[in-house]
Chain A
Amino acid sequence: AQSVTQLGSHVSVSEGALVLLRCNYSSSVPPYLFWYVQYPNQGLQLLLKYTSAATLVKGINGFEAEFKKSETSFHLTKPSAHMSDAAEYFCAVSDSDTDKLIFGTGTRLQVFP
């Protein structure tokens, strides 16, 4: 079965700095991969999705993620953090055996002025 690991439960950056949130998945078979964002007191919303069409995936709000099969990684980046990016971010992977979406434990991003 698939699993996903997010390294770092908390990440803090200064406004304008690079954002890097790490995600590794367990399988060598490229699945669907996703990043979701949860703003305070809100539900999750889809940030971006990898479906094997391109290894670099662009999402909303200037975020992008690169799929690296050799590293089984799907890290999320943004060149310049904004205060409004403060949220919790979840990496998720699809499991073709169970037809389910498996979520990571989340990374809370703090942005300091």
Chain B
Amino acid sequence: EAQVTQNPRYLITVTGKKLTVTCSQNMNHEYMSWYRQDPGLGLRQIYYSMNVEVTDKGDVPEGYKVSRKEKRNFPLILESPSPNQTSLYFCASSMTGFRTGELFFGEGSRLTVL
């Protein structure tokens, strides 16, 4: 089954404790992206990748890091989480690129930073 898998789905952590949210897709997609969803703000892009070893900042990259060492994986790293990073995070992938809009989303990772 074609899917984007994120882990963990739920996480509560404390300020400053490094964490990684993993994302893996099995569709051989070149494009991958991370979004955060906040009430009243919709989805905002954090980072994206157009191919292996190619990553770029989205609209809200501060406090986040990513890497793309393999085509299927695109982990999101919070080196020193802060409460303003409490949010619902989505990983997405696409074969045809973000502008064409056919994104496949994971089920989301709800992060709470205390």
Chain A positions near chain B (C-beta within 8 angstroms):
9, 32, 34, 36, 41-46, 49, 90, 92, 94-96, 99-101, 103-106
Contact = CB atoms under 8 A, between A and B. Distances in A.
B82 interface: no
Interface residues of B, number: 22
A95 to B, nearest CB: 7
Contacts, number: 58
- Mostly, the A contact residues are strand
B107 A42 contact: yes
Contact of B99 (A43, A46, A95): A95
A94 B100 contact: yes
A105 B40 contact: yes
A41 B40 CA distance: 17
Contacts of A95: 99
A9 B42 contact: no
A44 B45 contact: no
B42 A105 contact: yes
Contact of B98 (A43, A49, A100, A105): A100
Contact of A96 (B45, B99, B107): B99
A101 B99 contact: yes
A18 B58 CA distance: 37
Nearest to A4: B42
A102 to B, nearest CB: 9
B106 interface: yes
11 contacts: A43-B108, A45-B105, A46-B101, A49-B101, A49-B102, A94-B100, A99-B97, A100-B99, A101-B98, A101-B99, A103-B35
